[in-house]
Structure 1
Amino acid sequence: MDEDEVASILGETSTNNPPPRPGVPRRGENREFDTYFDGTTAEYDPGEVDFQELRRAAWATWRTRPPAALGGNSSNRVEEEDDELSRVLALSAQEHFSRTSSRQPSVVVDDDDEDEELKRAIAMSEEDARAPKRRKREETPEEERRMLAEAMAASLAESEPGPSNDSPQQSQTSTIVSTQSSTASSSTIVAATPSETVKAPVLKIGGQVIDRAQLERERRERQAARQAALSGTPTPITVTPMFTPTPTPIAGPSRIASMSSITPSVSSAGPSTSRANQSSSIHPLQSSGPFPSDAAGEYYPNGELRHVALKIGNSTTERTFSPAQIVGNHSQISLIIMSSFVIDDQWVMDKNILPPPEEVPTIVVRPHPKDKPEYNGRIQLHPNGEMWVYPKMTTGFGSAHMKYFWIFYKTGRLRSVISTANMVDYDWEMIENTIFVQDFLPLPQPNPLRSDLRTHDFPLQFAHLFTHTRIHTALRSLIRAHPHGSQIPFTPEDNFGDLAKYDWSKVKVRLVISIPGTYTGYEQINKFGISRLGKVLNEEGWAPKSGEQLDVEFQGSSLGTYSLEWFSKFHSFISGKTAQQISNRSKPNAWPEIRILFPTLANVEASQLGKEGGGTMFCGKGFNDVTRSLFRDSRSKRGRVLMHTKMLIATFEPEENKLGLGKSSTPAKSAKRKVDELKDEVGGWIYVGSHNFSPSAWGNVEFKKDPPTLNIKNYEIGIVFPLERDKAKAQADKVAPYVRPAQRYTAGDVPWDLNAHR
């Protein structure tokens, strides 16, 4: 983009710039401009839009020619009567994103394609500026049920016999090919198409004429309240979940507890009552504390796994995590990269969970709207400074099901979060979910990442995921366009080379990622899904030894349809075998024992939320006469609470004990020596993350083809970590949010079925 193109965006020429305007007139000083401004902003809600910002932008463009360069294809331009408003919004976004104080922002061009993407996104953002910054709260629960139902349908369709349709669906709109990796899909930064027009120079909300001056006073009060929250002053907020507990004041986001857990108020329903001095020596991913802290809050350099802080169920002394603890002090955040399958934007905004995106650069990875397939694989720029990244779905089925955070703090540390919870209130307050947090401190000098170091595998896996989902493109756009872009501490250059700035030496977990697609050959299929899990277990030696068998159970909220072939391959992989090792295995003739934990109908009916609480749990065709013997009822340790945690627990048991035979006759002294020798060895492992127990999530390896292939439908992410040999069972009992051992289904039990039992 040259100087003339930039100037054309601003409605002027590079060789004949008009003289600078005087400052924005206050209301009443220029009645003609007041009338113009009131007319062009009549449809806006002052509670959702910064009128001062719009007024400055409107003054900058008043009585100037339209920015023709922003119009794009003439067939896509707005109607004549809406041109004035479109010009104001486009220039408002341009000014809002400019890092300079000038109303004539300069554009630094590093990559012509990405600059064109950014220009198109700004030009197309009128509808997003009209709409509230975040979607309404009431849309989300039903939307999640719909999205989960679609994911379930994908799982069922994927497991049915028949040919696989894996050819990528190409968007019919123009695309920009990423220059960073051949795995990154071609796509475009987009924004919504304008659909509203200015009707009259008066402000009406809900059919009533509103006093604009009064609204402005109220807006200033809300702004002051938000500033107070950011500075740490408590702001009372009434919580209204389905069961209507006693309202609890929610402190400002900067009030992070100095000990290991915030102790929430106890409602009559019996929420968590965490104790900071609780000993967690038996827990493999909990430290005894106290934990270090900085200006951004408490942090966990060794990694910390906890369940969410519920507002229902029996009280607990276990440490828990709340959203405020996860995010930390808003004023100390310089960048957020996050992903969630479902996001209740209104809840996030109302409860001040995330800092305002116009103040903190924020990238949100989320599924594209199902009614807008053209958004698949694209990046959407919002005038409030937020970038929405829609991962590329390569087939008509599948879900962008990942749940993670990367939070960069001004103190220098980086926080990585892997979660089973969506960004919706009931996932954090009403059903069981599990969160892993680890903080990484900066090194004195960068240490380049090496693929042969196990601890470096963690950031390298994320770098691959970031490239595939085009985080590099979103980051470059934010760095150039956001008001605080120059302060972003993380760039995509040199394949996210800034990852070398952090100390990864304390990583104890391994990442398992699923990315949709069909992968061919052992090298490729070992990178993702169930093949990746098998490879990790094999590399680490987290597998049963000779004379041992795997004792395994999977707790999830959505099941697939299982064939004997897939079930058997899954068991082989989780036994620590690689794809190469099981490629020539004999055809299975019996179902391996993998206990499937899923709530019974009776369990759901007796839960505190009843059937309404089971709206995000899907059994589908996973339960039948063949698999009945594998099903167990999942019951929370906190009483009548349902489970959304996805957890795969495997321990290594002696074959004689597994088969119910007598104990070994080894002398006691020899047995003691053997126990002493095994103290430092692994006796099992646990997976926690977004993967449910389905072929769509983990993938299906087909060995009949040469070379073999792996087909995955979903984006998923999770961690796997070892259990100590001499206390594996005790550690598994400690980590699980449900009561172990889980009870077998009785003759009259059936699994909860959303479609049949609602």
Structure 2
Amino acid sequence: MTEDEQLERALALSMQDSQPKFQLPVAPQEDDDEAQFMADLQRAIEASKAEVSKIQQPERPIPIQSDPPSRSQTHTPFLSDRAQLERERLERQKRLRGEMIDEEKDEIEVEELPPAKRHHPSSSNRPARANGGASSSSTISRSITGTSTPATTGEQLFWDGELRQTANKHADLKQDIPPTFRLTEVIGNKSEIAFALLSSYTTLWGWIYEFFDPSTPVLIVSQPDETGQESVKNILPNWVRTTPFLRSGRGCMHMKFMLLFHKTGRLRVVVSTANFVDFDWRDIENTVWVQDIPLRASPIPHDPKATDFPATFERVLKALNVRSALDIMIRTDHPNIPFKSISDLRRLWDFSKVKVKLVASIAGKHEGWPNVIHTGHTALMKAVRDLGVRAGKEREVIVECQGSSIGTYSTQWMNEFHCSARGESAEEWLDQAKTKRSKLPWPPVKIVFPSLQTVRNSALGEPGGGTMFCRKSQWEAAKFPRELFYDSNSKQGRILMHTKMIIATFRDRGVIGKSNKSSSSAQKGKRRATPSDSDTEYSDDDIVEIDPPQSQHYVGWAYVGSHNFTPSAWGTLSGSSFSPTLNVTNYELGIVFPLKDEKDVDRVAAWKRPPRKYDTRKDIAWMQEESAALRG
């Protein structure tokens, strides 16, 4: 289905129940491509007037991103176009800023669109499961497993939070599969939603449009065009799309979340690994975290220094150009939406029961501790410390990283990330000599990614592997860490996983002698505070006692969100301990929470544990560019 047909279909759907007034704010002058799109769109709309009547035509064209067919359309080839789409994207970047070095190319992540060779809908084929997930005895673990409360409408509510995998058409029902989420269950009763704020890297517009009432105002954040410029545009009746800034058009707006504001005042917060395309919610496996947030009895004052969950989300929304989009919606057709200002999120809703930490990556160059500590892997480090799951000197951290895209790795970057995963200060890392950092061995990291054989044996075979990315040039590089790769096998059966998840577990280093304890004690003392030690800003003259809390009753922590295990997603640290710089390519978002015991670890992990280590004599990673099934 073409873009014109997608929009025409969505407009027609909107007219079946209501005929909302569709007006556009004044937009900047469109370029030649969009002018051509205007003409094409106008012809399509004119042709559909017999079916779609009494709709006010837009004043100027609405460019919408190219998407695959909706669920009611017959299949068109897709997977074979994936490699070509990536080549075209890289060519556009070359034209914008000249030839890029190979390493830069490898660090830019490829994201996922739904494959073409797929079987149609599925989520309705599997019976709904009651919320029967085991709950940990710890407060935070309960907030992840959650206990649901049925609403008066029959909808489940998750006041303590709920983490589940997505339901899948190809799941092996013989397996002991815990409760799963369908998108209909995540969104809930669409007639009760007063306003929705969504984010997705790629969106199948006609498909996602059907999950919301046509009269509901929706603001959606998506990937900018190749120029990387901010934009705000109406794309459908009551739907506004906003895009954030990307330097030179490089990188991804990769966040996947929902803020669903209900007419009762309740807010549902969703952080997931799935895009708004049918394939992500039916044929491959993803992970979703949901928590319902009550409205406060009365607003609280805005606190610009807050660093908690809603304050972090507010910083994210500002970076995503949501403020401009909200202003336009309020000034034009939707003056009564319940979320009028980004600062309302913390002022009006009570997040006191949220026990997870929100970790974001904001694309750009971040300089100085107050800025560096709020994004990328240094924000992960702060979350680990704030949760009390810092490993300490006596324990080693084993990190298992499941993702759908492989980056370009160096021992320096991987040790840099592992330093944050341990909860160690980034200041200590930067204090080490660059030559020492560059010569460190690989840290204890397991990269969980499907092997070629696993993809071939999956329910959809190679045609279903179009959303998993590892390039041949990466895999065959002389210093690429092939020995760190482990096979990705879903607990639900022969299903490929799009889930981005990190499981970090602690292991004792052995008996620690008195001399080591003395040495550790000697290192305590006065030094400059970093923002990882305090929620408040500081000056270089501030001196405090540093001894971050370490928890002995947790066995590790977990991350779930949009971050793949790549430098593009988590950032690269440089500079000095006095003047640090973190460069981040993508916009990413996820949650971090502690793991109480081994049962917690196995319950949360999406893959079968322990993962099978690649046999380097015969196993190779799945590389879609090498697949004849996707090239044809």
Alignment of 1:698 with 2:558, yes or no, is no
- C-alpha deviation, 1:699, in angstroms: 0.7
Q: Give the Cα separation in 2 of the matches to 1:701 and 1:731.
A: 32
Distance 1:451 1:537, change over 3 A: farther
- Give the TM-score normalised by structure 2: 0.75
Against the structure 1 CA distance between its residues 692 and 152, is the aligned structure 2 distance closer, same or farther, given a 3 Å change threshold? farther
Q: 1:396 to 1:368 in 2, by over 3 A?
A: closer
* CA displacement, residues 696-746 of structure 1 (integer Å, 9 cap, x when unaligned): 11110013697221111111100100112xx1x221111111100001111
Equivalent residue in structure 2 for 1:124, among 39, 52, 60: 60
Change in Cα spacing, 1:717 to 1:401, as seen in structure 2 (3 Å) is same
Q: Distance in 1 between matches of 2:338 and 2:551?
A: 42
Structure 2 letter corresponding to 1:640: R
Deviation at 1:136, TM superposition (A): 9.4
Tell me the secondary structure at the aligned position of residue 247 of structure 2. Answer: coil
Secondary structure of 2:510's counterpart equals helix
SS at match of 1:331: helix
Instruction: For 1:274, give the aligned amino acid.
Output: R
Q: 1:691 to 1:265 in 2, by over 3 A?
A: same
Matched with 1:475 is 326
Q: 1:285: Cα distance to partner?
A: 4.6
> Which deviations, in whole Å up to 9, do the C-alpha atoms of 1:193-222 show, x marking residues without a partner?
xxxxxxxxxxxxxxxxxxxxxxxxxxxxxx
Q: Which residue of 2 aligns with 1:274?
A: 129
| Structure 2 match to 1:722 | 594
The answer to whether the 8 Å contact 1:48/1:132 transfers is no
Give the residue type in structure 2 aligned to 1:526. Answer: I
1:751 to 616, 621, 627: 621
Structure 1 position 281, deviation (Å): 3.9
Where does residue 591 of structure 1 map in the other structure? 442
Distance 1:743 1:45 in 2: 46
Q: Which residue identity lines up with residue 712 of structure 1 in the other structure?
A: V
Residue type of the alignment partner of 2:171: G
Answer whether contact 1:334 1:487 (CA < 8 A) is retained. no
Partner of 1:710: 582
AA in 1 matched with 2:563? H
Distance 1:487 1:688, change over 3 A: same
| Number of the residue aligned with 1:632 | 486
User: Displacement, 1:445?
Assistant: 1.1
1:347 to 207, 221, 227: 207
Task: Give distance in 1, aligned partners of 2:283 and 2:289.
Answer: 19
What is the identity, as a one-letter code, of the residue corresponding to 2:188? G
Which of 1 and 2 has greater Rg? 1
Paired letter, 2:12: E
1:650 equivalent among 504, 512, 517: 504
State the distance in 1 between where 2:393 and 2:19 align: 74
Match of 1:518 in 2: 365
CA positional deviation for 1:160: 2.5
The more displaced of 376-385 and 634-643 is: 376-385
Matches within 5 A, 1:23-172: 48=12, 123-125=59-61, 141=78, 160=103
Q: Which residue identity is paired with 1:124? A: R
Counterpart selection for 2:233 from 358, 364, 380: 380
Preserved CA contact (<8 Å) 2:232 2:325: yes
Distance 1:380 1:543 in 2: 44
For structure 1, the residue ranges without an aligned partner over 5 or more in a row are: 1-42, 59-68, 98-120, 166-239, 251-263, 267-271, 659-677
Q: How far apart are the structure 1 equivalents of 2:13 and 2:128?
A: 39
Which of 190, 209, 224 is matched with 1:368 structurally? 224
For 2:272, the aligned partner's letter is S
Change (3 A) 1:317 1:630: closer
Query: Secondary structure at 2:414's aligned position in 1?
Result: helix
Aligned to 1:611: 462
Q: Which residue of 2 aligns with 1:422?
A: 275
CA distance in 1, matches of 2:286, 2:610: 19
Superposed displacement of residue 292, structure 1: 3.7
Match of 1:558 among 394, 402, 405: 405
CA distance 1:45–1:312, change in 2 (3 Å): closer
Pick closer, same or farther for the CA change 1:487–1:657 going to 2, 3 Å.
farther
Q: Does structure 1 residue 391 correspond to structure 2 residue 221? A: no
Q: What is the rounded CA distance, in whole Å, between the counterparts of 2:351 and 2:288 in structure 1? A: 19
Report whether the alignment pairs 1:641 with 2:495: yes
Q: Which moved more, 1:48-57 or 1:407-416?
A: 48-57
Q: Is structure 2 residue 555 aligned with structure 1 residue 683?
A: yes
Q: 1:447 to 1:622 in 2, by over 3 A?
A: farther
- Counterpart position of 2:183: 323
Residue 563 of structure 1 aligns to which amino acid in structure 2?
S
Q: In structure 2, give the amino acid aligned to 1:305.
A: L
Q: Does the CA contact (< 8 Å) of 1:144 and 1:342 recur in 2?
A: no
- Equivalent residues in 2 for 1:425-464, closer than 5 Å: 425-448=278-301, 450=303, 457-464=308-315
CA distance change for structure 1 residues 399 and 572 in 2, over 3 Å: closer, same or farther? same
Mark the CA change 1:56 to 1:452 in structure 2 (over 3 Å): closer, same or farther: closer
Residues 47 and 411 of structure 1: CA distance in aligned 2, closer, same or farther (over 3 Å): closer
| Secondary structure of the structure 2 residue equivalent to 1:313 | coil
Aligned to 1:115: none
Taking structure 1 as reference, are residues 51 and 634 closer, same or farther at Cα in structure 2, changes over 3 Å only? closer
Q: Identify the structure with bigger relative contact order (alpha carbons < 8 Å, sequence gap 6+).
A: 2
- Report the Cα offset of residue 679 of structure 1: 9.3
The answer to whether the 8 A contact 1:338-1:406 is kept is yes
State the match for 1:6 in structure 2.
none
| Contact 1:632/1:742 (8 A) holds in 2 | yes
Q: Which of 379, 386, 401 is matched with 1:532 structurally? A: 379
Q: SS of the counterpart of 1:382?
A: strand
Pair 1:314–1:53, CA change in 2 (3 A): closer
TM (norm. structure 1) is 0.64
Aligned mates of 1:75, 1:274 — CA distance in 2? 50
SS in 2 for 1:714: coil
Q: Does structure 1 conserve the Cα–Cα contact (< 8 Å) formed by 2:10 and 2:236?
A: no
Q: Residues 47 and 338 (structure 1 numbering): CA distance in 2 closer, same or farther, change over 3 Å?
A: closer
Measured in 1, the distance between the counterparts of 2:194 and 2:104 equals 49
Q: Which segment is superposed worse, 144-153 or 735-744? A: 144-153
Aligned counterpart, 1:570: 417
* Mean Cα deviation higher: 558-567 or 295-304: 295-304
Q: Distance in 1 between matches of 2:241 and 2:149?
A: 34
- Counterpart mapping for 1:12-31 below 5 A: none
Residue type of the partner of 1:598?
F
Matched residue, 2:544: none
CA distance in 2, matches of 1:574, 1:425: 33
Whether the 8 Å contact between 1:538 and 1:578 is mirrored in structure 2 is no
Report the Cα offset of residue 513 of structure 1: 0.7
Cα deviation, 1:346-386, whole Å, max 9, x if unaligned, reads 3224xx32332xx000011111344xx3x731111235121
Query: What is the identity, as a one-letter code, of the residue corresponding to 2:59?
Result: A
Equivalents in 2 of 1:570, 1:53: separation in Å?
Answer: 51
CA deviations 1:81-136 (Å, max 9, x no partner) are x9xx89x99xx9xx979xxxxxxxxxxxxxxxxxxxxxxx96324778xx999899
Q: Is the 8 A contact 2:557 2:595 kept in 1?
A: yes
Quote the Cα distance in structure 2 between the aligned partners of 1:348 and 1:516. 26
CA, structure 1 residues 378+139, in 2 after alignment: closer, same or farther (shift >3 Å)?
farther
> What are the superposed Cα offsets for residues 605-630 of structure 1, whole Å, 9 maximum, x if unpaired?
11111001111111235545641221
Q: Note if contact 1:520-1:709 (Cα within 8 Å) is conserved in structure 2.
A: yes
Residue of structure 1 aligned with 2:161, choices 288, 300, 303: 303
SS in 1 for 2:590: strand
SS in 2 for 1:681: coil
Distance 2:249 2:155 in 1: 42
Q: SS at 1:733's partner residue?
A: helix
Identity %: 32
Verify the 8 A CA contact 2:69 2:204 in the aligned structure 1. Answer: no
Which of 330, 335, 340 does residue 491 from structure 1 map onto? 340
User: In 1, distance between residues paired with 2:14 and 2:397?
Assistant: 59
